[in-house]
Amino acid sequence: MKIDRRDFCKVVVAGAATALSGGVAEARPPKELPPKAVGILYDATLCIGCKACEVGCKEANDMPMDHTSCAEQAHGVTGVWDAPDDLNSRTMNKIKAYAQGTAEVKDRPQDGYSFIKRACMHCVDPDCVSACPVSALTKDPVTGIVQYDPDACIGCRYCQLACPFNIPKFEYDKTFPKIVKCQMCAHLQAEGGIPACCEACPTGASLFGAVPDLLEEAHRRLTFKSGERQSYPIHSLDGGETRTAEVRGYYPKVYGETETGGTQYLMMAGVPFEHLGMPDLGSESRARLSETIQHGLYQGMMAPTLLLGGLVYAAYRNTHEDRMDPPEAPDGKASQAEEVPDD
């Protein structure tokens, strides 16, 4: 088989031109906070670990109770209620505890303890939405709530792999399983209510409001001095209810303000967030990064694909011409088909 040099050069030049004209894939712009974004500010220094928010969440979302596996294993008893130790397919909101050393003082990293409330962070640029191939997870363009459509879900669980906070859970024990995660009680908000966890919280540790206002409130708290008494809104930032409490001192950060492009669930605490199990993610949106790399890969594959196509075509043409060409005579001249004389 021979490859015509002119054809080969044409293909190489075409491939190079395609590669150059394609250039480097443009990074897509970061997603902005929606105009009426709502969220929750969780202040661990106000949390007393009563778990009223867990109960409120289950009631409002018709979630079944959890059972203790210890009692089942030890005594063969079934149906005994117990608090789950983490988020699961029956639990969308979980209060966890951090304890260090003697765990004597609340909201201190050394010989102290703290609570942390885990639920969906309602990311501004959510990885779960980016990963879902059928748009079963979407971000509301007005409120920013990351919502789930069970009818669209195909159960591939890409969202579970993509979420940097390990939030979506899958109903492995169901015949027709769904993904389970907090949807910020959108059904209650649609009727003028607030999320059940904020309604149930007696101390204001879980506070509902518009995200810019919650951020402003969080930064107001960061100016407080330990030991002074301050007024804290409870349930909802706009609800008008307040209580006075002693400031316990804050770790100087609002978790979620910048993490992975920002989240609508914001956190404050007295101890560093890495102690509370919150990942250090940086401020770059991971969804934006992965989509940019993905599109760059597709774009980068165009030139080699065209080059390969051109080579295959050139090879085909040469092979085809080889078959059609008459064999060469020993003297180098093309031999002529001999005429068979008529008898």
> Which residue's CB is nearer to ligand SF4, number 119 or number 269?
119
CB-CB neighbours of 320 under 10 Å: 10
- Triad 58, 199, 116: Cα angle to 5°: 70
55 counts as binding ligand SF4 under rule CB under 6 A: no
For ligand SF4, the closer CB: 56 or 310: 56
Q: How far is the CB of 196 from ligand SF4 (least distance, A)?
A: 4
Q: Residue 98 is inside which H or E element, if any? A: strand 94-99
The DSSP string of 214-253 is: HHHHHHHHHTPPTT-EEEEE-SBTTS--EEEEE-----S-
Minimum Å distance from CB 90 to ligand SF4? 12
Nearest approach in angstroms of CB 34 to ligand SF4 is 13
The pair of structure tokens assigned to 21 is 């004209």
Overall residue count recorded for the chain in this entry: 343
CB of 114 to ligand SF4, least distance (A): 19
The 3-state DSSP class for residue 116 equals strand
Report, in Å, the least distance between residue 88 CB and ligand SF4.
13
Handedness of CA 41, 47, 52, 58 (dihedral sign): positive
Among 47, 136, 205, 289, which residue interacts with ligand SF4 (rule: CB under 6 A)?
136
- Say which amino acid occupies 246: E
User: Is residue 119 close enough to count as binding ligand SF4 by CB under 6 A?
Assistant: yes
Q: Distance (Å, rounded) from C-alpha 262 to C-alpha 78?
A: 42
**Which residue, among 303, 306, 311, has the nearest Cα to 5 in the 3D structure?**
311
Do 156 and 289 meet the contact criterion of CB atoms below 8 Å apart? no
Output 159 or 215, the one with its CB closest to ligand SF4: 159
Asked whether position 47 contacts ligand SF4 by CB under 6 A, the answer is no
Site for ligand SF4 in 146-205 (CB under 6 A): 146, 153-159, 163, 165, 167-168, 179, 181-182, 184-185, 195-197
Decide if residue 93 touches ligand SF4 (CB under 6 A): yes
Q: Shortest gap between Cβ of 272 and ligand SF4 (angstroms)?
A: 20
Helical spans, DSSP H, in 37-174 = 52-60, 69-75, 127-131, 158-162
Smallest distance from the beta carbon of 188 to ligand SF4, in angstroms? 7
For the CB of residue 263, give the shortest distance to ligand SF4 in the complex, in Å. Answer: 7
Interaction between residue 122 and ligand SF4 (CB under 6 A):
yes
- Please, what is the minimum distance in Å from the beta carbon of residue 174 to ligand SF4? 13
Angle between helices 5-22 and 286-324 (to 10 degrees): 170
What's the token pair of residue 229? 């008494």
Using CB under 6 A as the binding rule, whether residue 289 contacts ligand SF4 is answered as no
Among 60, 201, 254, 267, binds ligand SF4 (CB under 6 A): 60
* 285 phi-psi bin (left φ>0, alpha ψ -120 to 50, beta other): beta
- Owner of token pair 């064999």: 327
* Cβ–Cβ < 8 Å for 304, 12: no
Q: In terms of CB distance, is 185 or 214 closer to ligand SF4?
A: 185
Choose one: 70-78, 124-132, 226-234, 306-314; the region binding ligand SF4 (CB under 6 A): 124-132
Size of the site for ligand SF4 (CB under 6 A): 39
- Taking residue 55's Cβ as centre, other Cβ atoms within 10 Å add up to 16
Tell me which of 38, 47, 87, 121 binds ligand SF4, using CB under 6 A. 121
Positions touching ligand SF4 (CB under 6 A) are 56-57, 60-61, 92-93, 119-123, 126-128, 131-132, 134, 136-137, 146, 153-159, 163, 165, 167-168, 179, 181-182, 184-185, 195-197
